[in-house]
Chain A
Amino acid sequence: MDNILKLKYDVDGDDFTRAGEASASVKKTLKKMGVPADIIRKAAIALYEGEINMVIHADGGEIEVDISSNKIIMILKDKGKGIENIELAMQEGYSTAPDEVRSLGFGAGMGLPNMKKYSDEMRIESTLNIGTTVYMTVCIS
């Protein structure tokens, strides 16, 4: 049987300066496990964008990361307002982020496209006013 390492993080929705701590921790763990650098980067960037999204749009949430020998599965779950039109949200440049987020370097409508770009598989489940769950898989081999 393939051993699975499970990591869990609570993402604080109030503190934008701390957004990215979960991604940094996952990156460090993958490095210790000897995962190739290009794979680590894909997973770390995808998760980082997701984490930023949770803080910007959903007042935080939970992240679960399952690492096995051949893949990294990342599940980001929030109880935010949900995504009205997922297809539209996936378009580069489309953003509903408030202006103050843009002054922080995000909210350019690249978050979800970047997450899709760096993950080998991505699925979004979203219900308006209930929340959003994003499933991302990055293959190791």
Chain B
Amino acid sequence: MNLSDVKNIIDCQVIFGEDRLDREIHTACGSDMMSDVLAFVKDQSILLTGLVNPQVIRTADMMDMVCIVFVRGKQPDEAMIQLAQERDIVLMSTSHRMFTACGLLWENGLRGGN
């Protein structure tokens, strides 16, 4: 699956990185607790979260994640978008709630990794 598939499956609005949607992803992680995200390393992963603050971007950066999807239509502020640009992390937003967004991606073959 690539980011373009993710965008279509959960109807995302792309906030940053429209030209980077061909990136392949292997796993996903859905959490509002950043320490839980940091506890399990996955490769080429996306993060789904309802949390909106700069630590979300920093956490994704530490984990080498390629994309963050904000659920329930949440929107990052300018400072967060700039941080994501500097770190080359795609930002998207979906109006789906966390459970539904994760469920739709799972149904389409995306898994959580080990």
Q: Would A45 and B55 be within 8 Å (CB), given that A108-B35, A110-B36, A111-B35 are in contact? A: no
Cβ contacts under 8 Å, B53 to chain A: 17, 104-105
Q: A20 and B64: CB pair below 8 A?
A: no
Q: B63 and A104: CB pair below 8 A?
A: no
Give the docked Cα–Cα distance between A102 and B41 (Å): 21
Minimum distance in angstroms from A79 CB to a CB of chain B: 23
Interface residues on A, range: 20 to 34
Is A117 interfacial (CB 8 A cutoff)?
yes
* B64: contacting residue among A24, A41, A52, A113, CB under 8 A: A41
Cβ contacts under 8 Å, B104 to chain A: none
Give the docked Cα–Cα distance between A27 and B94 (Å): 30
Scan residues 11-26 of chain B and give those whose CB is less than 8 A from a CB of chain A.
none
Cβ contacts under 8 Å, B36 to chain A: 108, 110
Give the docked Cα–Cα distance between A104 and B35 (Å): 11
Scan residues 100-117 of chain A and give those whose CB is less than 8 A from a CB of chain B.
102, 104-111, 113-114, 117
Minimum distance in angstroms from B28 CB to a CB of chain A: 17
Q: What total of chain B residues lie within 8 Å of the partner, measured CB to CB? A: 22
Q: A48 and B64: CB pair below 8 A?
A: no
Cβ contacts under 8 Å, B64 to chain A: 37, 41
Q: B61 and A24: CB pair below 8 A?
A: yes
Is B73 interfacial (CB 8 A cutoff)?
no
Is A83 interfacial (CB 8 A cutoff)?
no
Q: B58 and A114: CB pair below 8 A?
A: no
Q: A105 and B62: CB pair below 8 A?
A: no
Is B51 interfacial (CB 8 A cutoff)?
yes
List 5 tightest A-B contacts by C-beta distance, closest first.
A110-B35, A105-B34, A20-B58, A17-B54, A105-B51
What would 10 more interface pairs be, CB under 8 Å, given A106-B55, A110-B39? A16-B55, A20-B54, A24-B62, A27-B61, A41-B41, A105-B35, A106-B34, A107-B35, A109-B35, A113-B39
Please list the residues of chain B having a beta carbon within 8 angstroms of any beta carbon in chain A: 32-36, 38-39, 41, 49, 51, 53-56, 58-59, 61-64, 79, 87
